[in-house]
Amino acid sequence: MRTRAVGFVVLSSSFFICGCTQPTDTAIVSAESTATPQPRTPESVQTPNWKADATVNAVARGSTTPCGWGTSVGDTRNGVQWRITVTADQISLDEDTPNWPTDDLPYSGHLAGTQFTATYKSDSNYAAFVCQFREASISGTFTSDSTFVADETLIWGAPALETSVKRHWSGSRL
C-alpha cells in the first residue's frame, strides 16, 4: 500500500510540476523571441579619437546624384568624429564613426613623416545601393600641435556617369 501511495504522490507531483511549468516556459520563449538586439561588442565599435570640420570646395555633377551631407559647394559640417590609427608607415582613417558600419568611410593608406594619403574603394556591387560611394581619396598633413588638414574627393556612380565632391577638412585630436 505504501508503494502505491508513494507512486501516486510521485506521479501526481510530476503532472503538477509539468502543468505548472508549461506557461512559464512559453513566456520565456516569447520574451527571447522579442528581445532587443544585443549591443555592439567593444571590438565592433569604432571609438573616435579625432574630430574635424569640413567645407565643400567643388562639385562635378554627372548623372549620378550624390547623397548625404556636404554635396553642394559651400556646405559645411562641424565636429565629425574620426578614428585615426597609425602603425609604422600605414594609416587608417575612419570618417564619421557614429555611422559605422554602413555610412562611415574606412580609408587606408600610407604615412610619410607628417604627410598621409589614403583611399577607399567600394565593392563592385556599389551601384546596388542608393548612397554608396564608388571610391574616395584623402590626403593631408598632421601638424606638431595634434591637428591635421586634408583634402578629400568622393565619387558616386559609374565612371561615365559619376559625380564627385571635394571637401577640405581641419581636424584635431580629442
**Pair (77, 128) in one structural domain:** yes
Model pLDDT for residues 90-108, shown as the tens digit of each residue: 999 999 999 888 788 999 9
Do 51 and 35 lie in one domain? The reply is no
Closest CA to 56 of 152, 161, 131: 152
Domain limits for position 31:
1-39
Q: Model pTM greater than 0.75?
A: no
pLDDT bin (cut points 50, 70, 90) of residue 45 is low
Mark whether 125 and 52 lie in a shared domain: yes
% pLDDT > 70, the chain: 74
Whether residue 1 is found in the same domain as residue 54: no
pLDDT band (50, 70, 90) for residue 67: confident
72 and 104 in one domain?
A: yes
Indicate if 61 and 85 belong to the same structural domain: yes
Number of domains in the chain: 2
